[in-house]
Amino acid sequence: MPRPPRRPRSTRAGFSLVELLIAMVIGVLVLTSTTAFAMASWKGLSANRQREEVGRNARFLGMSLARDAQMAGVGMTDQSDISSADFGWVRVRGDTLVVLAASRFPAPEFALTPPTGAPNPITPLGEGTCGERCFDFAKQAGGTTPDVEAGRVMLLGGALPRRLGLVTAVDRRGAATDSFSVTLASLPTLFLTPHGLDGGLPLPHGAVLQPLSAVAYWRQDSTIMRAERYNADGSYRGEVMADGVEGWQVRLIFADGGEAAVANPADTARAYNRIVSVVVRARLRSSYVDPRVNGGLPVARDYEWRVTPRNLSYERNRLP
């Protein structure tokens, strides 16, 4: 039988010039779209990074402010006069906020033990009971001494007029003795309040010592600082709470809805016992910048925190 005729082999042909141009155009379009999408994604991630940095600083700062400011006056001596007209447990001075509260709840008190023959009250000329600006106090049962040390603040008195004391030294004198001594810094005032006997106030024999928590916030250049300890000259030993601060303002809100930079004991509407809340306004910016985001400038946002010290509110509104 004769063989069937062979089919001719297929001719292998390349892309035509038109096909090649079409493929190149499509590839360029795909590559351009992919590049644009990637750049937009990176830009979005960079912007999110900046916003997240600002938001994280704001959340941390706001939580810290709320925690400290709400404690103003908690656990203090003489609860019926928790923020008297002439002595406030929350204070504002310029850009500085100071909140006073008991370091423990309830904070223990330690009675003054003046030496035999000491004048009552002890005057500034007496300089103290155990030396210059040194005061003896009785230990509590079991030899308990206060939770204070150098750099901490205490409340000296118990009855009006109160005074603050910045501790420079504590001598606990061992278990064999029933007293301890506290030495105060040489300051006329501390947080705008007469300090120890340096403010010209006498100290009665019935005075007591009460440990305090004295927390201060203030702006230092582009940072917000927080301090719980203080140097002998009354300056703060602070730590950084937030960076990138462009604006910082602290104000007091009073019972009539008014706002002021400071309390004024001579003004019944702006006295310390009329404080309702503290408002802090701040503008925070990111430390990280990207030339593709916000014109290469830091991302910034305005924040406002309003905190009502719960104990001050209770004392002002409680029934007589």
Higher pLDDT, 286 or 248: 248
CA nearest neighbour of 180 among 116, 134, 117, 229: 134
Share of the chain above pLDDT 90, in %: 35
Inform me whether the pLDDT recorded for 136 exceeds 80: yes
Higher pLDDT, 292 or 235: 235
What does the alpha-carbon distance between residue 118 and residue 215 come to, in Å, rounded to a whole number? 35
Q: Average pLDDT for residues 55-71, to the nearest whole number?
A: 92
Inform me whether the pLDDT recorded for 37 exceeds 90: no
Give 89-124 pLDDT, tens digit per residue: 899 988 999 999 887 677 788 999 988 888 888 877
- Mean pLDDT rounded to a whole number for the chain: 83
Inform me whether the pLDDT recorded for 45 exceeds 60: no
Inform me whether the pLDDT recorded for 10 exceeds 60: no
Share of the chain above pLDDT 70, in %: 81
Inform me whether the pLDDT recorded for 247 exceeds 90: yes
pTM, 2 dp: 0.81
Dihedrals φ, ψ of 158, to 5°? Answer: 115, -30
Pairing between β-strand 189-190 and β-strand 193-194 as defined by DSSP bridges: antiparallel
Inform me whether the pLDDT recorded for 153 exceeds 90: yes
Q: For 47-56, 185-194, 265-274, which range has the lowest pLDDT when averaged over its residues?
A: 47-56
Inform me whether the pLDDT recorded for 296 exceeds 90: no
Region of residue 267 (phi > 0: left; psi between -120 and 50: alpha; otherwise: beta):
beta
pLDDT of residue 7: 59
User: In 239-284, which ranges are continuous DSSP H helix?
Assistant: none
Residues 6+ apart with CB under 8 A from 72: 83, 89, 90, 99, 100, 101, 309, 311, 312
The tokens of 289 are what? 């910048």
What does the alpha-carbon distance between residue 233 and residue 214 come to, in Å, rounded to a whole number? 15
Q: Average pLDDT for residues 285-295, to the nearest whole number?
A: 70
Q: What is the DSSP letter of 129?
A: S
Residues 6+ apart with CB under 8 A from 235: none
User: Under DSSP, is residue 78 helix (H, G, I), strand (E, B) or coil?
Assistant: coil
Inform me whether the pLDDT recorded for 9 exceeds 90: no
Distance set, CA 85 to CA 161, 247, 269 (Å): 11, 30, 10
Q: Average pLDDT for residues 279-300, to the nearest whole number?
A: 79
Inform me whether the pLDDT recorded for 158 exceeds 80: no
